[in-house]
Amino acid sequence: MLEAYNPGQLVQDSIALGQPIVFVSINYRVSAYGGLLGAQAIEVGATNTGILDQRLALQWVKKHIYDFGGDPDKVTIYGQSAGGGSVVGQLVIEGQKPEGLFSGAFVSSGAFGWHYGRDAYLGYQNTLYNLTNCVDSSDPVECMRSVPEADMWTAVNSIGSDMFGSNFGPTFGDDAIPLDPKDLIRQGKVANVPLMVGTTTDEFTGFVTYPLNTSANGANYLGSSFLTLTPKLGSTLWPLYANFSDSEILPSIANASFVPTYPPAFLRTAAASNDILFHANREFLLNAFVNQSRPVYGYSFGQQTDAIASSATQAKFGVTHSGDTPWWFGSTISATRGGQQLGTDMRRALISFVHTGNPSTKDLEWEDYAQSKSSIMSFKSNSTGMTSNTNRRAQLDAALGFLG
């Protein structure tokens, strides 16, 4: 998986185009090390430590990138999945405390952890206090700071994780992110920089548990899986997907060259989950930036790799989470299935965005969301181009309503 993020081809392409870029990757704390939750943690400054690690790294880049041949005034931040959520965190911190740390942002399949009922996770934090023998301390966070690292590591890992890999993560209510980032963005407290934001067509198919044989299974899954987003999620949102045909729900799966073995309830649950966690976040950012007259460029990626398309086991997942990453980076696992030119076009668009704040190139006209009247770039071999952003419109609007 890490090979997908190898930037070698992207950097080589930038040099060949006469628009060289310097690629910087950073380390930051994650899981409980990257931020605890709740009032006690906020009081002692133990929240959002991973997000603040990232900001410290951006300050370092701003100060030193010139020494590596870079331009401190042309820094673009990128994140995929949880990293996309981190980019949103940096956007709102920069919006409140501007330091000019970056000139553009790219959110790829961004999952915003803040829109969940994070109080649901406090039980895991109390478990961590118990496992480290700090639960009865007047200051359990300070107590944990004295726990030997090996014991702390064992405690954190023994708690397990949710379906997304962690029971800890970014939150709001502290000095760095005082309010839900969505509210800060609505208030205009967000970095005034161009934004690229997009998703794959079938983000969630690899996460949905199997089997889901009936509509009741699907509704129950939605109602129980999204971390107290709302107990009414299954009963309210599911009916909007129940009567779709397979091809309307997930065309890249339903139109495959074989008959998928997954039942209809799986397809509908995956589509609803796609919209709740990923597609609705994309829509929120597109609409918010347009409403504030800020340039924003949306995309949807719908191309499978050769390896996935030739495997019945993998192909039934469609173009799932992280499916676009090899094309953006030009890594060795990207496909030859008509994908060479597609990957070249995508990397050139990204390079253009880094240099100019606009992803359009001489071969690919990519209009911003307002200029294009709510159209996004659809990336697929032999059919890439702007397309009206109307797929499952009513369902997306409903999912946006649940995000608050």
> Which residues are identified as catalytic?
81
Which pLDDT value is given to residue 159?
Answer: 84
Provide the number of structural domains found in the chain: 1
Percentage of residues of the chain with pLDDT beyond 90: 51
Assess whether pLDDT exceeds 70 at residue 256.
no
In CATH, what number is assigned to the domain containing residue 125?
A: 3.40.50.1820
Q: Tell me what the mean pLDDT of segment 122-144 comes to.
A: 91
Residue 55 has pLDDT above 60, yes or no: yes
Concatenated DSSP letters for 236-274? Answer: HHTHHHHT--HHHH-HHHHTSSS---S-HHHHHHHHHHH
Structure tokens at 351: 């390079």
Is the pLDDT reported for residue 302 higher than 70? yes
The answer to whether residue 216 scores a pLDDT higher than 70 is: no
pLDDT digits (tens, 9 = 90+) for 69-91: 999 999 999 999 999 999 999 99
Looking at every residue in the chain, the average pLDDT score rounds to 84
* 3-class SS of residue 360: coil
What percent of the chain clears pLDDT 70, i.e. is strictly above it? 78
Using alpha carbons, list the distances in angstroms from residue 43 to 23, 40, 54. 36, 5, 21
Q: What is the pLDDT of residue 3?
A: 76
As given in the structure block, the two tokens for residue 401 are: 């309503």
Residue range of the domain that includes 389: 2-403
Q: How confident is the model at residue 391 (pLDDT cuts 50, 70, 90)?
A: confident
Residue 195: predicted pLDDT:
99
In terms of DSSP bridges, do strands 195-200 and 104-108 run parallel, antiparallel, or are they unpaired? parallel
Q: Collapse the DSSP code of 96 into the 3-class scheme (helix H, G, I; strand E, B; otherwise coil) and give the result.
A: helix
Backbone φ, ψ for residue 172 (5° rounding): -135, 165
Q: Mean per-residue pLDDT for 277-296?
A: 94
Residue 268 pLDDT > 50, yes or no? yes
Q: How confident is the model at residue 272 (pLDDT cuts 50, 70, 90)?
A: confident
Mean pLDDT of 341-355: 96
Instruction: Provide the 10 A C-beta neighbour count for residue 315.
Output: 19
